[in-house]
Amino acid sequence: METGGGSGRMAGGRDARVRRAEELRRLIEKHDRLYYVENRPEISDREYDELYAELKRIEEEDPSLITPDSPTQRVGAKLSGKEAIRAEPHRSPMLSLDNTYSEGELREFDGRIRRFLGLAAGAEIEYAVEMKIDGAAVSLWYERGLFVKGLTRGDGEKGENITHNLRAIRDIPLRLIPAKGAQAPEFLEARGEVYMPRAEFERLVRRQEEEGEEPFANPRNAAAGTIKQLDPRVAASRRLRMLVHTPGECSGVRWRTHLEFLEGMAALGLRVNPHRRLCRGIARVIETIAEWEDLRRSLDYDTDGCVIKVNDLEMQRALGFTAKAPRFAIAYKYKAEEARTRLLAIDVQVGKTGVLTPVARLEPVFLAGTTIENASLHNEDEIRRKDIRIGDVVYISKAGEIIPQVVRVAKEERTGAEREFRMPDRCPACSGKVERRGGEAAWRCVNQRCPGRYRARILYFASRRCMDIQGLGPALVDRLISEGLVKDPADLYALRTEAIESLEFEGEDGVKRRLGSKNAEKLIDAIEESKSRGLARVLAALNIPHVGERKAELLAERFGSMDAIRKASAGDLMKVETIGEVVAQSVLDFFGDPGEAALVDRLAEAGVVMKSSARPAAAGDGPFAGRTFVLTGTLSGYTREQAEALIRERGGRCAGSVSSKTDYVLAGRDPGSKLDKAKKLGVKIIGEEEFERMLGEQK
Ligand code: IVH
CB 462 within 8 A of CB 492: yes
Report pLDDT for 85: 86
**How would you classify residue 432: left for phi > 0, otherwise alpha for psi between -120 and 50, otherwise beta?**
beta
Report pLDDT for 389: 97
Q: Where in the chain is the domain with CATH 1.10.287.610?
A: 13-73
Compute the distance between CA of residue 552 and CA of residue 131 in angstroms, rounded to an integer: 38
List the one residue out of 361, 382, 356 whose CA is nearest residue 215.
382
According to CATH, the topology of domain 13-73 is Helix Hairpins (1.10.287)
**How would you classify residue 387: left for phi > 0, otherwise alpha for psi between -120 and 50, otherwise beta?**
left
Report pLDDT for 699: 43
Q: Fill in the amino acid letter for 310.
A: V
pLDDT in tens, 359-396: 999 999 988 778 899 998 988 888 999 999 999 999 99
b/e burial code for range 388-416 (CB count within 10 A of at least 16 → b): bbbebbbebbbbbbbbbbbbebeeeeeee
Report pLDDT for 650: 78
- Tell me the CATH number for domain 451-530: 1.10.150.20
Tell me, using a 6 A CB cutoff, whether residue 331 lines ligand 1.
Answer: yes
Superfamily, domain 628-697: BRCT domain (3.40.50.10190)
Q: Which atom number of ligand 1 is nearest to the Cα of residue 309? A: 1
List the one residue out of 143, 154, 222, 175 whose CA is nearest residue 71.
175
Take atom 3 of ligand 1 and give the residue whose Cα is closest: 245
Report pLDDT for 1: 56
- Tell me the CATH number for domain 106-333: 3.30.470.30
Q: Residue ranges of the chain with pLDDT lower than 70?
A: 1-12, 81-82, 400-401, 507-509, 613-621, 697-699
Tell me, using a 6 A CB cutoff, whether residue 96 lines ligand 1.
Answer: yes
Compute the distance between CA of residue 59 and CA of residue 17 in angstroms, rounded to an integer: 9
Cα–Cα separations (whole angstroms), residue 85 to 161, 164, 241, 514: 6, 10, 21, 61
Cα–Cα separations (whole angstroms), residue 519 to 52, 471, 502, 554: 47, 8, 11, 36
CA 326 / ligand 1 centre spacing (Å) = 11
Report pLDDT for 8: 46
Q: Where in the chain is the domain with CATH 3.40.50.10190?
A: 628-697
CB 167 within 8 A of CB 234: no
Residue 188: beta bridge partners? 142
Compute the distance between CA of residue 241 and CA of residue 197 in angstroms, rounded to an integer: 7
Question: Best mutation site among 193, 270, 304 for ligand 1, i.e. most ligand atoms within 8 A of its Cβ?
Answer: 193
* Cα-based angle 260, 261, 264 (whole degrees, multiple of 5): 85
Q: Does domain 339-435 have CATH number 3.40.50.300?
A: no
Q: pTM for this structure? A: 0.66
Take atom 12 of ligand 1 and give the residue whose Cα is closest: 132
The conformation of residue 204, written as its DSSP 8-state character, comes to H
Tell me, using a 6 A CB cutoff, whether residue 570 lines ligand 1.
Answer: no
Tell me, using a 6 A CB cutoff, whether residue 137 lines ligand 1.
Answer: yes
Report pLDDT for 181: 78
Report pLDDT for 621: 61
Which positions ≥6 away from 377 have C-beta within 8 Å? 346, 357, 358, 359, 360, 383, 388, 406
Q: Where in the chain is the domain with CATH 1.10.150.20?
A: 451-530, 535-605
Compute the distance between CA of residue 259 and CA of residue 282 in angstroms, rounded to an integer: 17
Report pLDDT for 58: 93
Take atom 10 of ligand 1 and give the residue whose Cα is closest: 96
CB 535 within 8 A of CB 610: yes
Mention the CATH class of domain 535-605.
Answer: mainly alpha
Report pLDDT for 698: 53
Report pLDDT for 12: 66
